[in-house]
């Protein structure tokens, strides 16, 4: 095969990849883009989710102070966990259970401990993630087939990137000589737009497609009982460590602040971003937060009766392979470096959505036309040898550079 026809083949592959499902791909891109900033959208739409500082010098409350404040306001409430989002403009989120069994999340002011409101029954964050992540298909036996459906798109996405770079000769020139022609008609404009967006989002498309493919592999491994995990079974508090109380009341436990302090001694530099209370009498207090490697959390399990650390998951506990695979999710979602990283992911998510759209526009304006033309031509003569056809098609097919 000649060099030219080989690149034409690549071009055709690029043109037809995922084309029949273009709208599905577009919606997956758009919902993913929304999911990146879903927390921020909730912040904008829900005043209760914001952290307003009563005065400039008001200090942040500790976890134990927050817990005390919640119990003072609602003595019957059972608190399961308190988490502090890593951006200071968000209220704390406490996962609680009311005495009637309802278990919403509460927005807590981090300075006053006031319960500002309850998360609405429609959880926008979870909904966009479920729509993007598994197309709302329920998980009944292992991973849902919606998860496979969406994560499979990583393959054509990676294919589009590779074939796109192959057919876009000397693509690196596009970085420095951006070419966006506005007054040569729509096809020229969208072609320029598609290439310009493409070269600048090479890194992003690579990240999203590779991490997306990891989700596919992850589901496949889980459903086939293949595990690379080095985490053991979750620890339980030994029966002997749970005191027997002659008066029949619950045994006293260490405070959340003590637990955070103990964890900080084990995890230098730990800024505890969440604390989970024991989930039963044999459970641990779990304290966790990011460490020196911002993509992953480190956690410590503390015996609530004697304050001993009985389990922990540090960066160093992960195997090299786990460091890579556990980094996949934060890399995909852009949730590891605060608002600015999220905004970068959001921006390139929009660009990627526009790539799908502009690709389709180019296709309708060029490939569909060329295909229709070729079909017309081939219908006229009784039977044209295949060779001639190819030549005809090539000569009428606009070269990628002229699109």
Where on the chain is the footprint of other proteins (CB under 8 A)? 9, 12-13, 16, 20-24, 27, 78, 80, 97-104, 121-123, 126-127, 130-131, 135-138, 140-142, 146, 149, 223, 225, 239, 242, 244-251, 279-283, 371, 374-375, 378, 386, 389-390, 393
In the complex with other proteins, the residue whose CB is nearer, 243 or 338, is 243
Q: Residue 363 CB, nearest distance to other proteins (Å)?
A: 11
| Structure token digits, residue 358 | 């502009």
In the complex with other proteins, the residue whose CB is nearer, 102 or 181, is 102
**372 in helix, strand or coil?**
helix
In the complex with other proteins, the residue whose CB is nearer, 232 or 250, is 250
- Residue 35: which H helix or E strand, with range? helix 22-36
**109 in helix, strand or coil?**
coil
Q: Residue 318 CB, nearest distance to other proteins (Å)?
A: 23
First-last CA distance in the chain: 24
Q: Residue 241 CB, nearest distance to other proteins (Å)?
A: 13
In the complex with other proteins, the residue whose CB is nearer, 228 or 251, is 251
Q: Residue 249 CB, nearest distance to other proteins (Å)?
A: 6
Question: How far apart are the C-alpha atoms of 227 and 355, rounded to whole Å?
Answer: 36
Q: Residue 365 CB, nearest distance to other proteins (Å)?
A: 16
In the complex with other proteins, the residue whose CB is nearer, 5 or 88, is 5
Question: How far apart are the C-alpha atoms of 272 and 122, rounded to whole Å?
Answer: 28
In the complex with other proteins, the residue whose CB is nearer, 180 or 391, is 391
In the complex with other proteins, the residue whose CB is nearer, 47 or 243, is 243
Q: Residue 127 CB, nearest distance to other proteins (Å)?
A: 8
CA dihedral 249, 254, 256, 257 (to 10 degrees): 150
Question: How far apart are the C-alpha atoms of 95 and 102, rounded to whole Å?
Answer: 11
Q: Residue 174 CB, nearest distance to other proteins (Å)?
A: 27
Question: How far apart are the C-alpha atoms of 351 and 115, rounded to whole Å?
Answer: 39
Contact 371, 390 (CB under 8 A): no
Question: How far apart are the C-alpha atoms of 8 and 127, rounded to whole Å?
Answer: 42
Contact 105, 93 (CB under 8 A): yes
C-alpha dist (Å) from residue 199 to 169, 174, 204: 11, 7, 10
C-alpha dist (Å) from residue 363 to 164, 369, 394, 400: 14, 8, 16, 12
């Amino acid at each position: 095969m000649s060099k030219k026809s080989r690149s034409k083949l690549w071009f055709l592959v690029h043109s037809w990849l995922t084309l029949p499902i273009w709208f599905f791909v577009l919606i997956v891109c758009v919902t993913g883009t929304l999911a990146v900033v879903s927390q921020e959208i909730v912040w904008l739409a829900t005043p209760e989710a914001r952290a307003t500082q009563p005065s400039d010098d008001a200090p942040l409350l500790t976890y134990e102070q927050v817990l005390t404040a919640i119990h003072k306001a609602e003595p019957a409430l059972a608190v399961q966990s308190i988490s502090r989002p890593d951006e200071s403009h968000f209220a704390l989120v406490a996962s609680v259970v009311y005495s009637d069994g309802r278990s919403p999340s509460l927005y807590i002011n981090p300075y006053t401990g006031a319960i500002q409101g309850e998360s609405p029954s429609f959880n926008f964050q979870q909904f966009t993630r479920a729509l993007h992540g598994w197309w709302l298909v329920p998980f009944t036996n292992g991973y849902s087939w919606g998860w496979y459906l969406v994560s499979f798109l990583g393959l054509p996405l990676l294919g589009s990137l590779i074939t796109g770079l192959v057919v876009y000769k000397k693509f690196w020139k596009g970085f420095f000589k951006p070419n966006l022609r506005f007054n040569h008609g729509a096809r020229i404009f969208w072609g320029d737009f598609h290439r310009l967006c493409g070269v600048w989002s090479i890194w992003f498309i690579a990240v999203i497609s590779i991490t997306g493919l990891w989700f596919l592999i992850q589901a496949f491994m889980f459903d086939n009982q293949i595990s690379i995990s080095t985490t053991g079974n979750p620890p339980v508090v030994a029966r002997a460590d749970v005191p027997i109380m002659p008066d029949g009341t619950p045994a006293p436990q260490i405070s959340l602040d003590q637990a955070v302090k103990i964890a900080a001694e084990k995890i230098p530099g730990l800024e505890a971003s969440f604390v989970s209370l024991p989930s039963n009498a044999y459970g641990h207090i779990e304290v966790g937060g990011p460490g020196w490697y911002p993509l992953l959390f480190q956690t410590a399990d503390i015996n609530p009766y004697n304050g001993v650390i009985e389990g922990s998951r540090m960066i160093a506990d992960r195997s090299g392979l786990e460091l890579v695979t556990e980094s996949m999710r934060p890399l995909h979602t852009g949730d590891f470096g605060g608002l600015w990283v999220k905004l970068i992911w959001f921006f390139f998510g929009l660009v990627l959505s526009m790539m799908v759209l502009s690709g389709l526009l180019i296709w309708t304006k060029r490939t569909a036309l060329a295909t229709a033309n070729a079909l017309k031509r081939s219908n006229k003569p009784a039977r044209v040898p295949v060779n001639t056809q190819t030549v005809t098609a090539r000569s009428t097919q606009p070269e990628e550079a002229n699109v």
